[in-house]
Amino acid sequence: MSSILTNQSAMVALETLRGINKGMNQVQSEISTGKKVSNAKDNAAVFAISTVMSADVSSFDKISDTLNLGSATVGVARAASEQVVDILTEMKGLIVSAQEDNVDRTKIQTDVAALKSQIDTIVGAAQFNGQNLIAGSGSIDVLASLDRASDGSVSASNINVSRVSLETSAETAGTVAITSGNTGFAAISGGTVADAASVTATFTAGAISTGDTFTVTLASENITYVAKANETLNDVATGLKTAIEANTNINAGFTVDITQVSDPAATNTVLTINNDTGSTATSATTSFTGGTIGGGLAALTSLDVSTQSGATSALNAIDALLTTSIDAAASFGSAQKRIDTQGEFVSSLMDSMKVGIGALVDADLEEASARLQSLQVQQQLGVQALSIANQAPQSLLSLFR
C-alpha cells in the first residue's frame, strides 16, 4: 500500500541521516577540542576521574615550587655550614701554631677572634626567605607530596629538616612565668584540674627567639608551637591559642583567652587557659617548656690561645667544634639531596599523570580523521537517499490522470 501521508522510506532515510549528523558533530568536537571526553555529558565516569587527576597535577605543580624553595633554603644552610668548616679548619691551624713557645700568641689570638667574628657574620646571613637553619632550634617541614588513599581521602606528607645551631652564643628560649588562676588549678605540673579552673602564662619581653618551642600539655595531649622569625609576644600567644583550640583530641573543653599588649616590645602578654567543661578534667597538666637554644659553637667564645694553658685547651676543643660543623654540613647535604630527589620524583609523577589523563580523554586524531571522511560520504549518501524517498509519492499522481 502506498500513502502520501506516511512515507516509511523517507522516515528511515531521515533517521539514518540524523545518526550520521550526530556522529559528524561528535567527530568535529573531538577534532576542535582534541578530546574525546571534553565534558561530563560525553562520559561522566571518565570526566570525574580525569578532573580529579588534573586537580592533583595542579597541586603537585605547587608542591614542586615548594620543594624548590625548600631545597634553596637547605642549600643556603649547607653552603654556610661548609664555609664554617673551612673557617674552623683555618682556626685549627692557628691553634696548632700556638702550641709552639716561640710564637706571638697574642697576634694568633687576634686572628682567632677575627675568624670567630666571621663565623658570626656567616651564621647571621645564612637565611633564605627568613628561614635560618643554622641558628636556633626546632625544625621546618617542607611539603613533599599529596597522598590520595583508596577511599579518596587526601593527606599531605612533609620532609622534616632539623636546625643545627652553629651560633657562637646561646639564648634563653621561652622564659614564661606561670601563676595559678584560682585554687581549683592546684597542680600546674600535674594532678587534677577542677571545675572552671584556669592557668595564666605571662610572656616577658626579650624571651622570644626564632625556633623557641612552647609546649602546653592538656588532657595528656602535647600542643607545641615553635616561634618563627621576628615574631612578637603576641604572635606566640596567638599561635598557642590557635593550636590548643584546634586540637580535637582534647577531651576536656579548654579555651584560651589572650590579653595582648599594644606595644610588641612591651612586657606581659598574658595567655589564660580555661577549663570550661563544668567537670573535673583528670590527668590534665599544664607546662610551658623553654630552655636554652642555639650556641652549637658556643665554646668558641672561651677559646684563648694567648697563654700556654689556653692554647692547650683550645686544641682539645677545636676538634669537637669541627665535628659539630661537619655534621651540620652533612645533615643539610643529605636533606637537600632528599628534597631534590623528591622534586625529580614529583616532576616524573606529574608527567605520568598527564599521560594517564591524556589516555582517558584525548581524542585519537588519526581515527577521527578516518571517521570524518567516512561520515562525510555517508552524509552525502544519506541526503541522496532522503531525496529519493521524498520523490516516491510523486509516482502516485499518475494513478489519477
Position 344 scores a pLDDT of 94
Lowest average pLDDT, out of 48-57, 197-206, 354-363, 367-376, goes to 197-206
Residue 205 has pLDDT above 80, yes or no: no
> Comparing C-alpha atoms, which of 30, 23, 9, 100 is closest to residue 365?
30
230 and 141 together in one domain: no
In the chain, the amino acid numbered 303 is: L
Binned at pLDDT 50, 70 and 90, residue 177 comes out as very low
The whole-angstrom distance between residue 282's C-alpha and the CA centroid of its chain comes to: 36
Residue 68 vs residue 235, higher pLDDT: 68
Q: Which residues make Cβ contacts (< 8 Å) with residue 369, sequence separation at least 6?
A: 31
Residue 5 has pLDDT above 80, yes or no: no
Tell me the pLDDT tens digit for each residue of 351-395: 999 999 988 888 878 888 888 888 888 888 888 888 888 887 777
Position 254 scores a pLDDT of 65
Find which of 10-14, 119-123, 203-207, 291-295 is predicted with most confidence, using mean pLDDT.
119-123
Tell me the pLDDT tens digit for each residue of 308-349: 888 888 888 899 899 999 999 999 999 999 999 999 999 999
- 365 inside domain: no
234 and 121 together in one domain: no
Q: What is the mean pLDDT of residues 149-172?
A: 82
Q: What is the mean pLDDT of residues 243-258?
A: 66
d(CA 79, CA 84): 9
Which domain range does residue 226 map to? 171-294
pTM for the model stands at 0.63
Binned at pLDDT 50, 70 and 90, residue 212 comes out as low
- 113 inside domain: yes
> Comparing C-alpha atoms, which of 288, 289, 285 is closest to residue 197?
285
Tell me the pLDDT tens digit for each residue of 84-143: 999 999 999 999 999 888 888 889 999 999 999 999 999 989 989 888 888 877 788 899
331 and 242 together in one domain: no
- 271 inside domain: yes
Q: What's the domain count of the chain? A: 2
231 and 217 together in one domain: yes
The DSSP 8-state label assigned to residue 264 in this structure reads T
Q: Choose one of 270, 294, 318: the last residue of a domain.
A: 294
Lowest average pLDDT, out of 11-20, 62-71, 91-100, 255-264, goes to 255-264
CATH number at residue 307: 1.20.1330.10
Position 156 scores a pLDDT of 85
CA within 13 Å, CB half, 250: 25
- 225 inside domain: yes
185 and 121 together in one domain: no
346 and 241 together in one domain: no
d(CA 341, CA 349): 12
- 396 inside domain: no
- 90 inside domain: yes
Q: Determine which helix (DSSP H) or strand (DSSP E) holds 351, and give its type and residue range.
A: helix 308-361
